[in-house]
Amino acid sequence: MRSWKNDLEDAPKDIPLLAVVGPTGVGKTAVGIFLAQKLQGEIVNFDSVQVYKYLNIGTAKPSPEERAMAPHHLIDILEPEEPFHAAAFVTLADKAIEDIGRRGKQPILVGGTGLYLKALLHGLFSVGDVGPIRQRLKERLQKEGLASLYQELQKIDPETAKRLSPSDWVRILRALEVYYATGKTFSTLAREHSFRPQRYPCLKIGLYLPRAQLYVRLDQRVDLMLAQGFLEEVKNILKRGINPASKPLRSIGYRHMIAYLQGKVSLEEAVRLMKRDTRRYAKRQLTWFRADPEVKWFQPTEREKILSLALAFLKQAKS
What is the per-residue pLDDT for 13? Answer: 65
Nearest to 72 by CA among 38, 100, 112: 100
Considering the four listed CATH numbers 3.40.50.2300, 3.40.50.300, 3.30.1600.10, 3.20.20.220, the one that applies to the domain covering 17-123+196-318 is 3.40.50.300
> What is the predicted pLDDT for the residue at 206?
98
17-123+196-318 and 131-192 share one CATH topology? no
| Amino acid symbol at 164 | L
Q: In whole angstroms, how far apart are CA 315 and each of 21, 203, 312?
A: 21, 12, 5
Predicted pLDDT at 78:
96
* Measured distance CA(310)–CA(159) in Å, rounded: 32
Domain boundary assignment for the chain: 17-123+196-318, 131-192
Residue 203 in contact with residue 313, Cβ under 8 Å?
yes
**pLDDT per residue as tens digits for the range 194-218:** 556 789 999 999 999 999 999 999 9
Give the span between the Cα atoms of 163 and 141, in whole angstroms.
20
Pick the CATH number of 131-192 from 3.10.20.30, 3.40.50.1860, 1.10.20.140, 3.40.640.10: 1.10.20.140
Rounded to whole angstroms, the Cα distance separating 222 from 273 reads 11
| pLDDT for the residue 61 | 97
Q: Single out the residue of 37, 28, 190, 50 nearest to residue 109, CA to CA.
A: 28
Task: Give 69's contacts (C-beta < 8 A, 6+ positions apart).
Answer: 33, 36, 37
The reported pLDDT for the residue numbered 4 is 46
Nearest to 292 by CA among 170, 175, 190, 174: 190
pTM for this model (two decimals): 0.81
- Give the helix/strand (H/E) hosting 42: strand 41-45
The residue ranges of the chain whose pLDDT is under 50 are 1-8, 10-12
What pLDDT sits at residue 11? 46
pLDDT score for 140: 92
Three-class secondary structure of residue 19 per DSSP = strand
